[in-house]
Structure 1
Amino acid sequence: MTYKQEYYIIFTIFIRRTIFTIVIITLSRITRKTLPSNEKLTIYECGFNPLETPRLPFSIKFFLIGILFLIFDLEISFLFPWCTTMNSLKWTAFIRMTLFLSILTIGFIYEWIKKRLEWE
């Protein structure tokens, strides 16, 4: 293949995808059953109405639960690669992951004792 033929193929794929996208969007707008209501068009941010006064009281517990979820959910991104390559790793990797999980467990027990995981 020549240099121009390679770019021609890329260009034709780009044109086909653009046409396909336009056709799909047009068909979806033509065949939709109803128009969106005013409530569906409003802004939504964490259950608060952004058009009211911003000085409304809110529970900080919502944000604390979110942060705790991120901290304890982040362990999955470390555990999954470790589990998939566990057979080829050495004992030092096992010890490191055991240390990581023990620190995470201690943090979880601390949050449980302090009753930070309860919504009340």
Structure 2
Amino acid sequence: MIEAPPINYIPIFLFILASIVFGVGTLVISYFVQPRVYNKEKLTTYECGSEPISDARMPFPVRYYIIAMLFVIFDIEIAFLYPWAVAFNKLGLFGLIEMVIFIALFLIGYIYAWRKGGLEWD
């Protein structure tokens, strides 16, 4: 005999069903309403703002990737401020001193990247 699922799992099944319907529905709708106008420019290869017009073995500038990595690193460091802000009253003076040290190290890293030219796009 097959037992019926507990009543507590019905919202989970409904959420999974709604997720599947939403995902498949948006794909089907976008297939029917998308523009189907193709031209030469739309079908060309595009990489990091420069058109590939030379040999494939040419040196590729890595400036874009350096800036992206710096953004991710600084963004992750700033994300540590949110838990600290939430628990600020519980941490007291010790937490404040630790965050001042953290922000000082963050600023030293930022100034270092700035002086080395890591934040310049040219």
Q: In structure 1, what residue type is equivalent to 2:114?
A: W
Q: How does 1:98-117 map to 2 (within 5 A)?
A: 98-117=100-119
Q: Distance in 1 between matches of 2:109 and 2:18?
A: 53
Total equivalences in the alignment: 116
Q: In structure 1, what residue type is equivalent to 2:35?
A: T
- 2:48/2:64 contact within 8 Å kept: no
Residue matched to 1:97 = 99
Gaps spanning 5+ residues in structure 1: where? Answer: none
Gaps spanning 5+ residues in structure 2: where? Answer: none
Aligned residue for 2:6, secondary structure, equals helix
Residue matched to 1:6 = 6
Q: Distance in 2 between matches of 1:119 and 1:23?
A: 41
Aligned residue for 1:74, secondary structure, equals helix
RMSD: 3.5
Q: In structure 2, what residue type is equivalent to 1:116?
A: G
After TM superposition, the score normalised by the length of structure 1 is: 0.65
Residue matched to 1:64 = 66
Identity of aligned residues (%): 37
Misfit runs of 4+, over 4 Å? 14-24, 38-45, 47-50
Q: Distance in 2 between matches of 1:45 and 1:9?
A: 47
